[in-house]
Amino acid sequence: MCSPVTKASSLCLELAPFGRELPFPIEAPGCPADLSSKPLGLKMNQNIAERTSGALPLSQSRNETDRESANRPGKQWQKYHPPAEAAEILAQCKGLTIASTTDELIDLACGGPGSTQFEVSYEITGKGKITEATVFRARNGVVANYPEPYMRRRDPDCMVIGDGLPTDKESYKTRFGTEFSPLREQTFAWLKEQQLIMFGFIAGGAGVGMDALVLAPANAGFFALGLAMLQGIIPYDMIPAGFLPRAIIYVAPVFRHTHFQGRQVVVHNRRDSLHELFSYNLYPGPSAKKGIYGVLLGLGEREGWVTNHCSTVQVVTPYDNVVTIMHEGASGGGKSEMLEQAHREPDGRLLLGENIVTGEKRYLEIPRSCGLHAVTDDMALCHPSFQEGQGKLTLTDAENAWFVRVNHIEHYGTDVHLERLTAEPPVPLLFLNIDAAPQSRALIWEHIEDAPAKRCPNPRVIIPRRVFPNVVEGAVSVDIRSFGVRTPPCSKEKPSYGILGLLHILPPALAWLWRLVSPRGHANPSIIDSEGMTSEGVGSYWPFATGRRVDQANLLLRQFAENRRMRHVVCPNQHIGVWRVGFMPQWIAREYMARRGAAKFRPDQLRPARCPLLGHTLHQLQVEGRMVARWFLQVDTQPEVGEEAYDRGALILQEFFFRCLADFRAPDLDPLGKQIVTCCLDGGRLEDYEQLIPGL
């Protein structure tokens, strides 16, 4: 451990009142109306749900900045009923800003109402001044950049558990050699010496989530802004009498330098009726987004439901048929891309792929794409109150805004819809890792560089879901459950697991296994570690969960066993054999599956994949009369790959499954789950999986 932290430089601002009103989506889509019989997570928000019936205007109360004004009548932190430790901090801190709107947080992030740029820095004993981020006010929002390339994406090992409750995750004591409680007290002591921001929100949305608070240094306004955009912010005047926090985020970035050698660390400390989250860094991915995800997973684990890691889209065909696709996968698995239209060439064609050996390019012509109505981008609440018992999983969005990665947008015109929306948004956005100047227009293809001529692989923009055209409000039922995998090239010279064809049809039991192993895959842009084939863990949300693998595995299995009227598919991205394909496979699969609708496959249309873990492959695929070449469907038919290299790749995939599934040979695993895992470890055939959970 390093020496104790010193007082950091901080900021206290007097903000002018705002005259503009914006809609405030306090109630999550699909929130049940009758909460009288719901568990604790629902009852605690009954007060709010009863008071709301849709959009509410934002409060225009003046934002206070010092202890006296924050505590004056009408602006009292006691209204939030903070836990005892937080109340002590709020009573003793050097100043307090109680935020009510994102507009207030925008000004705070930029250094004040008239300021266009701000530096987030801290004085650290023995290290001097350390700049965590620079923040600019742009014409279309706020731009925040980190001087350290390491801070520009999530460290997959950032989470540790500070409590003694059941968990399969690494504890704070195991990693750092001491109990967490001393650092917890030091964190509280440091916060008492700062100017702070505080606001309330509902993690997961009213009715199905939990009341929550955040306490952060006032000079980290951009971080608070990101949290408020992602999770929502309740205006001070809208805080109900029954508001009772069951989750709280403490933000203390200086400890990254004094205790953790500059690494990202987020500590989850689960207590009776309170989930504490300590964010020791200012990248919002591990805490403001995934940290709250962990809070929701913990709530679902206690109550018997899951917040799935997926995007969801309603696809409207040219014939007005509507098909709902739920797309899961590890970071970089194509969740956000599933909400995008396929990227077209200047002449309107789709570049299906480029052969990295011969340089040959193959195109596909689809005159008219399906319409897309986005439902979720990354987190979907699958609460029991939504389920209708019709054999299809029903879900709704868990977020107020979407944390969109734009690394694939390298040039103007790549995705004109997203480019237009972010360049001229109806409300200000928050850009991360985007190269922009004060008062300029932030453009999503202008990525900052980690090194000269090396683009940052994780540029992001936070976009409120309500500004997306045709976004779907409320709960939807899923027709197709898809899983995305980033695959490397596969060839005779260098066999790999890049043997997935454009589209594979899976039986439900095999689809569940894919969620258990959740391959992180090739060249992952979202996280630090991307070498080799590694697992993101159960549900692909395991990096954010705080409990036990087997409990999450059982909850997911229940989804598959109880909802058998969905079709299950797996799609690769980046490569199919020796063909570089980007995200085109899932876009083509989306067009094809939506046009098929509920039609069943005839026996002659499917072939068992050469690798049983890949289920069925298509004998042929045709969209709008255009055929896709067979080698995009069955990789072993590619002359640069062949059967021998394919089989070696299949062995790599099989060994990966065996290695990952060893974590689930637990006595608490559901008996059906044990059968499915045993089937795989015994080298099960496709028909064996089909018998374990019959599907479509």
pLDDT at residue number 7: 34
Q: What is the dihedral of CA 377, 618, 342, 338, to 10 degrees?
A: 0
Instruction: Report the helix count and the strand count for the chain, using DSSP H and E.
Output: 17, 33
End-to-end alpha-carbon separation of the chain, Å? 56
Q: In terms of C-beta distances under 8 Å and separation of at least 24 residues, what long-range contacts does 369-372 make, across chains too?
A: 369/341, 369/342, 369/591, 370/315, 370/316, 370/317, 370/318, 370/590, 370/591, 370/594, 370/595, 371/315, 371/316, 371/470, 372/313, 372/314, 372/315, 372/316, 372/339, 372/340, 372/341, 372/470
What residue segments make up the domains of the chain, in order of their start?
Answer: 23-137+155-303, 306-393+478-692
Whether residue 68 is predicted with pLDDT greater than 80 in this model: the reply is no
Positive/negative CA dihedral, 240, 242, 246, 249: positive
* Residue with the two structure tokens 């504490």: 276
Name the DSSP letter for residue 597: T
Is the pLDDT reported for residue 207 higher than 90?
no
In 3D space, the residue among 419, 426, 424 whose CA is nearest the CA of residue 404 turns out to be: 419
Residue 58 has pLDDT above 80, yes or no: no
Looking at residues 586-615, what average pLDDT do you find?
A: 95
Q: Please name the residue ranges forming H helices in 250-348.
A: 255-258, 290-303
Extract the tokens encoding 250.
């403490």
**Contact predicate 213/249, CB 8 Å:** yes
* The pLDDT of residue 20 is above 50: no
- Residue-wise pLDDT for 159-183, tens only, equals 999 999 999 999 999 999 999 999 9
pLDDT at 49 over 50: no
Give, as one character, the DSSP assignment of residue 160. E
CA dist., res. 370 & res. 389, Å (int): 29
Q: What's the CA gap between 10 and 28, in Å, rounded?
A: 34
What global pTM score does this model have? 0.86
pLDDT for 264-310, tens place per residue?
Answer: 999 999 999 999 999 999 999 898 999 999 999 999 999 999 999 99
Q: What is the mean pLDDT of the chain?
A: 88
Q: Any idea which residue has 């490569």 for tokens? A: 575
Of residues 301, 261, 296, 300, the one with CA closest to residue 281? 261
SS3 234: strand
Q: Specify the DSSP element, H or E, that contains 679.
A: helix 671-681
- For residue 280, give every residue at least 6 positions away whose Cβ sits within 8 Å of its Cβ, in sequence order, or none: 252, 253, 255, 256, 259, 260, 264, 265, 266, 267
Query: Is the predicted pLDDT of residue 53 greater than 90, yes or no?
Result: no
* Alpha carbon distance 148, 303 (integer Å): 40
Average pLDDT of the residues in 70-77: 60
Q: What is the pLDDT of residue 598?
A: 86
CB neighbour list of residue 350: distance below 8 Å, 6 or more residues apart: 342, 343, 344, 363, 364, 365, 366, 584, 587, 588
Using the predicted structure, report yes or no on whether residue 99 has a pLDDT greater than 50: yes
Decide yes or no: CATH 1.10.443.10 for domain 23-137+155-303: no
Residue 458's pLDDT is 94
284 contacts 132 by C-beta, under 8 angstroms: no
Q: What single-letter amino acid sits at 274?
A: L
Strands 247-251 and 274-279: parallel
- 306-393+478-692: CATH, from 3.10.180.10, 3.40.718.10, 1.10.3720.10, 3.90.228.20: 3.90.228.20
For residue 563, the one-letter residue type is N
Q: Decide: residue 690, CB within 10 A, 0-12 exposed, 13-18 middle, 19+ buried.
A: middle
In angstroms, the CA 675 to CA 236 distance is 53
Whether residue 1 is predicted with pLDDT greater than 50 in this model: the reply is no
Nearest to 617, CA basis, from 680, 570, 685, 651: 570
> Sign (positive/negative) of CA torsion 146, 150, 155, 159?
negative
Per DSSP, the three-state class of 670 is: coil
Q: Which amino acid is at 278?
A: F
Q: Is 572 left (phi over 0), alpha (psi -120 to 50) or beta?
A: beta
pLDDT (0 to 100) of residue 74: 52
H-run or E-run covering 103: helix 102-110
Among candidates 481, 693, 497, which has minimal Cα distance to 614? 497
How crowded is the C-beta side of 197, counted as CA atoms within 13 Å? Answer: 33
DSSP character at residue 194? S
CA separation for the pair 613, 602 (Å, rounded)? 21
- In this prediction, residue 527 carries a pLDDT of 56
String of DSSP letters for 488-525 = ----SSS--STT--S-EEE-HHHHHHHHHH-B--TT-S
How high is the pLDDT of residue 522?
Answer: 75
